[in-house]
Amino acid sequence: MLEARNLFKTYEDAPLLEGVSFSVASGETVCLLGPSGSGKSTLLRIIAGLESPESGQVLWEGEDLASTPPHLRDFGLVFQDYALFPHLTVAENVAFGLKMRDLPKEETASRLTESLSMVDLDGFEGRRVTDLSGGEQQRVALARALAPRPRLLMFDEPLGALDRTLKDAVLEQLRLILHTTRVPAIYVTHDQEEAFALADRILLLHEGRIVQAGTPAEIWRAPASAWVARFLGMGNVVQGTAISRDGRALFQTEFGDVSVHCADRFKPGDKMPLLFRSGSSSPYGKNADDQDGVLVRARVEDVVFDRERFKVELQGGLFAYLDDAPKVGDEISVAFQVECLDHD
Amino acid sequence: MSQSLLRGFGRSASRRATGSLGRRILLWLPALAFLSVFFFYPLARILGLSLSLSVLTAENLGRAAGVLWFTFYQALLSTLLTFALGLPSAILFARFEFPGKSLLRALTAVPFMLPTVVVAAGFNALLGPRGWLSLLLPAGSFQFTGTLGAILLAHVFYNTTIVIRIVGNALAHLDPRLEQAARTLGAGSRRVWSEVTLPLLRGPLLAAGLLVFLFDFTSFGVILLLGGARFSTLEVEIYIQALQMLNLPLAALLSLIQLLCTLVFSLLYSRVVERSVVAIAPRPYHAHPAGGIVQKIYVATLALLLAAFFVLPLFALPLRSVTRLEADRGERGAVQYGLTSSYYQELFINRRGSVFYVPPVQAARNSLLYAVSTVGLSLALGLPAASALARPSRLERLLDPLLILPLGASAVTLGLGFILSFHRLLASPLLVPLAHTLIALPFVIRTLQPAISSIPDRLRHAAATLGASPFRVWQAVDWPILSRAVLSASTFAFTVSLGEFGAATLLTRPDYPTLPVAIARFLSQPGGLNYGQAMAMSTLLMALTLAGILLIEKLRLPGTGEF
């Protein structure tokens, strides 16, 4: 439905988007995930028509939108910090888009009620938006974007200002709404938890390019680069050098020689980043090839409680997620599953 | 001139009062005593005189009603015209980036701080019967001075900057995402304006409108000098009734009406300022160069128009003061053009040898003396009051509004009050600096107070624990910070006194004129030489005032905004 084709944009003479292409299918939720400054908000603003790309196209069902101004695109956008109209009530805010479309009164009233109840804000019609809590404002912004029933919904870091509990609740609500309305959506965030919770497909944006695209499971199973593995906090990235011993292809690392099945593809002497994941940090670890692994024995330097597990820092710079907490100073053995990362 | 006063609004020092009640009363005493004698007493005289039954005749009330109507009419018209220029300019400065922007913006603020006689002389030099335009157009083909148009133009010239500052600042701080949100919700650019931008600017628009109206309502010098006495606004009529008709009771009645109106507008203004919630802007609007042909034309046309409008009168004046544009007296031959310094040389000569004729240089000397006295007096009264205000207690919060009150009374009303109260002193030249002190005092206090409260007590305590005596503490800690504010306040009082016209014109004796009074006198007399001398004096006054403004700008404490 929506297609972005080879978008380029610079900001203050520095490249911001360097040829971004992707598409969003009917009913699909796509998350643009990337660190701050990766150009993801700009990408959203280009799709909304608030900024124009230096080159490239935004198409809707094959039709170029370059000459369509934002107010005729019929794309809803939920802003970071919401951008609610402070001079209007909750109802006036939510009905704004309906008013702009000059809908009949009864239609406006019924859609207003419907949108407010979708975000559990029944009865908030007459409230001033400046009197609402952050979470309530967030939901008004969502209802405002939903009310005109746009053909595409976009979210620009919409949960950034909320605390964790509130975030989880809104995320749950958002999932439900996106699934029931089946409206195609683009969701921009730097928070991988939000992306994993919502996305049908994730696009990882880094330095103006999409470095990996796939379902959350695909990306978690096979990170495309060392940067992706580090950004998502999947495990330790360790430099390896390909060697050949006894006819077997191995990687030499500072933590010992490692056998990885992908080592066959390299000539001795090739350098390659490797991902060391401890058993429980990889949900697929149990099914992976047992051959691809290494046992590291090291002293425990620090133990951090991390909900249902412990993050254990080891001497030498590796960390691992373990179910039981060792004592600091203990020497323990940890099994790491090792995967090839195709590049930095 | 009200800039630094307005800057002071809403500033409330948060620190608790220190010092005994006795000490604080002592700090307040000079300013309060001064205000009681020279403001409240004259005010009471005006009140008493205007409310006597003999004044409230049908004839007087009818006259007052007529004057009031015209005052409203011209103020409303001026305000509308000011917005017609100011609103597009506010958008220009808030939304667009263009070469020379900050210079142009500064330029638009200059007239606001210039004395009325200078502005009147500037427009006279450009559009008056002896001005530059008369060279281009055949004589008698147009008339500027003595028309309502002249008054309106000068008011627009004065007050456009208010709209640019108040509305432009609000516009620049409007969160751009509110407009973007409206666009993504289906609003075209016109509906974005009507549904989002304008409603959000309601407060600043109202505030600017009230302020402009207030200044136009109380305007005096411009109306008298460019319009003439036949355009009788309240101010002009008070002056005429008091000085020419010697009808003091009617003048007092008009003053009372004027005071009441000003009070109502000021109250409305502070209500609007209090209640206007400017949209929160985590990221202010990013001004950008004009894109597209329509925007480019808009920016170019408006910037050029503004530059012409604000540059021409200011340059016409000094140029005219060194240019001979007409035949000399007695020679009815060809008009001579050329540069001349004779207007300046004449300033020092008493050509008529008359006892009552005062050479302009004498007027300049008077003005300087008055200005210096005003500085001394307002500092002596203002410093203690400002120290008390810097750590406000309930006493200070109660007394604070009293200090602002003199600003609500126009200079002409202050002058009238002095005439009524101190008629025995009228022969003395003392009254003018006293009146000027009344006008300057609120500004002086508002300049000193933030500086004093900005000095952290920790510094004083640190100095004291290091062995400094109280005087040494003051010398080492307070004075270095305070001296800038004192210099700034002094310059302010100086320029206010130098350019003040309304009170001076009521209070000066014929043989003791101030510079603005002398300029007005020379402007109203026939002859090219008199005109040239008026131009020369106005140029000097403008130069002095501009120097003062520049000094104040340089001294401004970092972090104190405008308005």
pLDDT by 10s per residue, chain B, length 563: 333 333 333 333 334 445 677 778 888 888 889 999 999 999 999 888 888 777 778 888 888 899 999 999 999 999 999 999 999 999 999 999 999 998 998 889 888 888 999 999 998 888 887 778 877 777 667 788 788 999 999 999 999 999 999 999 888 888 888 999 999 999 998 999 999 999 989 888 998 999 999 999 999 988 998 888 788 899 999 999 888 888 888 899 999 999 899 888 888 888 887 776 555 555 566 778 887 889 999 999 999 999 999 989 888 888 888 887 764 444 444 555 677 777 777 777 766 655 556 678 888 888 999 999 999 999 999 988 888 887 777 777 777 777 777 877 888 999 999 988 887 777 778 889 999 999 999 889 888 888 888 887 788 888 888 878 888 888 888 888 888 889 889 988 998 899 999 888 888 877 788 899 988 888 887 777 788 888 888 998 998 888 888 887 777 655 444 33
Q: Would B500 be classed as within a structural domain?
A: no
One domain, residues A317 and A269: yes
Q: Which residues of B touch A101 (CB under 8 A)?
A: 186
Q: Which residues of A touch B289 (CB under 8 A)?
A: none
The three-class DSSP label of residue B206 is helix
**Number of structural domains, chain A?**
2
CA A241 from centre of chain: 32
Q: Measuring CA to CA, which residue among A101, A171, A178 is closest to residue A135?
A: A171
Q: Which residues of B touch A137 (CB under 8 A)?
A: none
First to last CA, chain B: 10
Burial B105-140, CB ≥16 within 10 A → b, else e: bebbbbbbbbbbbbbbbbbbbbbbebbbbbeeeeee
Identify the segments of chain A with pLDDT beneath 70: 279-291, 344
What DSSP character marks residue B477?
I
One domain, residues A181 and A329: no
**Number of structural domains, chain B?**
1
One domain, residues A42 and A162: yes
Q: Which residues of B touch A69 (CB under 8 A)?
A: 183, 188
Q: Would B563 be classed as within a structural domain?
A: no
Q: Rg of chain A over CA atoms, in angstroms?
A: 24
**Best residue in A42, A46, A50, A78 to probe B by mutation, most B CBs within 10 Å?**
A50
One domain, residues A213 and A248: no
What tokens were used for A257? 């020689």
The CATH number linked to B101 is 1.10.3720.10
CB-nearest partner of B183 from A71, A99, A101:
A71
> Is B191 within 8 Å of A100 when comparing Cβ atoms?
yes
Q: Which residues of A touch B175 (CB under 8 A)?
A: 83
Size of interface A-B (CB pairs under 8 A): 75
One domain, residues A173 and A273: no
Query: Cβ atoms within 10 A of the Cβ of B398, count?
Result: 10
> Is B182 within 8 Å of A101 when comparing Cβ atoms?
no
- Whether the model clears a pTM of 0.95, i.e. scores above it, the answer is no
> Is A86 within 8 Å of B196 when comparing Cβ atoms?
no
Distance to chain A for B178, nearest Cα, Å: 5
One domain, residues A161 and A277: no
> Is B181 within 8 Å of A86 when comparing Cβ atoms?
no
One domain, residues A76 and A216: yes
Q: Would B377 be classed as within a structural domain?
A: no
Q: Which residues of A touch B185 (CB under 8 A)?
A: 71, 76, 96-97, 100, 144-145, 148
Query: Cβ atoms within 10 A of the Cβ of A27, count?
Result: 14
Structure ipTM over 0.90, yes or no: no
Q: Which position has the token pair 């956008």? A: A77
CA dihedral sign, ordered A192, A196, A197, A201:
positive
Q: Measuring CA to CA, which residue among B95, B199, B115, B212 is closest to residue B163?
A: B212
Q: Would B358 be classed as within a structural domain?
A: no
Which of A160, A188, A221 represents a domain boundary (last residue)?
A: A221
The three-class DSSP label of residue A5 is strand
Q: Tell me which chain B residue has its CA closest to the CA of residue A83.
A: B178
Q: Is A92 exposed, middle or buried (0-12, 13-18, 19+ CB in 10 A)?
A: middle
Judged by a CB distance cut-off of 8 A, whether residue B177 touches chain A is yes
Tell me how far CA of residue B101 lies from CA of A258, B106, B111, B167, B304, in angstroms: 65, 9, 17, 17, 11
Cα A9 to Cα A51: distance, rounded to the nearest angstrom: 10
One domain, residues A195 and A250: no
One domain, residues A40 and A186: yes
Which of A203, A221, A239 represents a domain boundary (last residue)?
A: A221
- Structural contact between residues A235 and A228, judged by C-beta atoms closer than 8 angstroms: no
- The upper half-sphere exposure of residue A326, i.e. CA atoms within 13 Å in the direction of its Cβ, equals 20
Q: What is the pLDDT of residue B352?
A: 60
Cα A7 to Cα A187: distance, rounded to the nearest angstrom: 18
With a CB cutoff of 8 Å and minimum separation 6, the contacts of B514 are B363, B366, B367, B370, B432, B500, B504, B508
Q: Tell me which chain B residue has its CA closest to the CA of residue A51.
A: B180
What DSSP character marks residue A292?
S
Cα A221 to Cα A288: distance, rounded to the nearest angstrom: 10
Which of A178, A193, A221 represents a domain boundary (last residue)?
A: A221
Domain of residue A153 covers: 2-221
The continuous run of DSSP H or E covering B529 comes out as helix B528-555
One domain, residues A209 and A323: no
What tokens were used for B104? 């142009």
Domain of residue B235 covers: 51-316
One domain, residues A53 and A30: yes
Tell me how far CA of residue B11 lies from CA of B393, B400, B449, in angstroms: 14, 12, 10
One domain, residues A7 and A89: yes
What DSSP character marks residue B241?
I
Q: Rg of chain B over CA atoms, in angstroms?
A: 25
Q: Which position has the token pair 């980043």? A: A273
Distance to chain B for A94, nearest Cα, Å: 10
- The upper half-sphere exposure of residue A262, i.e. CA atoms within 13 Å in the direction of its Cβ, equals 15
Q: Measuring CA to CA, which residue among B309, B304, B303 is closest to residue B92?
A: B303
Residues forming beta bridges with residue A202, ordered by sequence position:
A31, A214
> Is B282 within 8 Å of A77 when comparing Cβ atoms?
no
> Is B185 within 8 Å of A69 when comparing Cβ atoms?
no
| DSSP secondary structure letters along B283-318 | S----EE--HHHHHHHHHHHHHHHHHHHHHHHHHHH
Cα B551 to Cα B563: distance, rounded to the nearest angstrom: 18
Q: Would B137 be classed as within a structural domain?
A: yes
Q: Which residues of A touch B178 (CB under 8 A)?
A: 83, 85-86
